Structure 1
Amino acid sequence: MNYISYKASRCLTSFIRAELRWRSRGGCFPAAHLKSSLTMTKLLEWLFGVSLVGAVWALVTFDLLDLSLPQTYREVAWPMPLYLLVSFGCYSLATVGYRVATFNDCDEAARELQEQIKEAKEDLRKKGLKM
């Protein structure tokens, strides 16, 4: 038996043992480690949402499905991306403003940083640097 087949058999054996342990506890082993690979990232969520809104906007604005919508619907839908962009900008600005206004001061961290600065200055003075 060569080294690679030995390692493969050891890996397979340990996998089977782990699965048997999980099954004896009433669990399902293979699905436990797959959950992290099935989650959507925030970027994908945003891209999905924007593409969905864009598709609906195109369908309503250009009447691609021949829904025979009234002209007023198309007139309202045409500038909708601009309204959504301005609304998103206002929301972002308000969120940043709120987070800045409620930013917590860290007095303990500030004191620790001041002590570290004093230690660094003292160390530099010992090495002959004049400030």
Structure 2
Amino acid sequence: MTKLLEWISVISAVFAVWYSLIGGYVKHPMIENNMNIVLVSPIIFVLLFGLYAVTVVLYRVFTFNNCEEAAKELQVEIAEARKDLLDKGLKW
């Protein structure tokens, strides 16, 4: 199953539960007393997901490691390529 299908199935299941609560298919005193929270719960979930996404991105940016050896190796390869191009007559 692809990640898209996983997200679609979870979102549709959550939407089905939310719709059954809003539509009055499920009767419970606690649900009826907290209907205003049930109504805005999708907005709360979107805000919490956004907060989670920002936290994950910032964590991964701050813990990103530098590869000093790879950078030096790449600089050597660039110098070799420039020398090779100069030997073949390319001037810039």
Q: Using structure 1 for the length normalisation, give the TM-score.
A: 0.62
Pairs aligned (count): 91
CA, structure 1 residues 46+78, in 2 after alignment: closer, same or farther (shift >3 Å)? same
Structure 2, unaligned stretches of length 5 or more?
none
Counterparts of 2:39 and 2:54 in 1: how far apart (Å)? 25
Question: Retained in 2: the 8 A contact 1:61–1:78?
Answer: yes
Q: Does 1:102 align with 2:57?
A: no
State the Cα RMSD in Å: 1.7
Percent identity of the aligned residues? 43
- Deviation, 1:68, is 5.3
Query: 1:98/1:66 Cα in 2 relative to 1: closer, same or farther (>3 Å)?
Result: closer
Higher Rg of the two aligned structures: 1
CA distance in 1, matches of 2:81, 2:62: 32
1:51-76 per-residue CA deviation (whole Å, 9 max, x = no partner) reads 1111111111121x252555433211
Q: What residue identity is the alignment partner of 1:43? A: L
2:54 is the alignment partner of 1:130: no
TM-score, length of structure 2 as denominator length: 0.86
Structure 1 pair 124–81 and aligned structure 2 pair: CA distance change class (3 A): same
Distance 1:123 1:90, change over 3 A: same
- CA deviation profile, 1:7-60 (whole Å, cap 9, x unmatched): xxxxxxxxxxxxxxxxxxxxxxxxxxxxxxxxx332222211111111111111
SS of 2:89's equivalent in the other structure is coil
Match of 1:120 among 56, 60, 81: 81
1:67 equivalenced with 2:20 (yes/no)? no
For residue 83 of structure 2, what is the amino acid of its counterpart? E
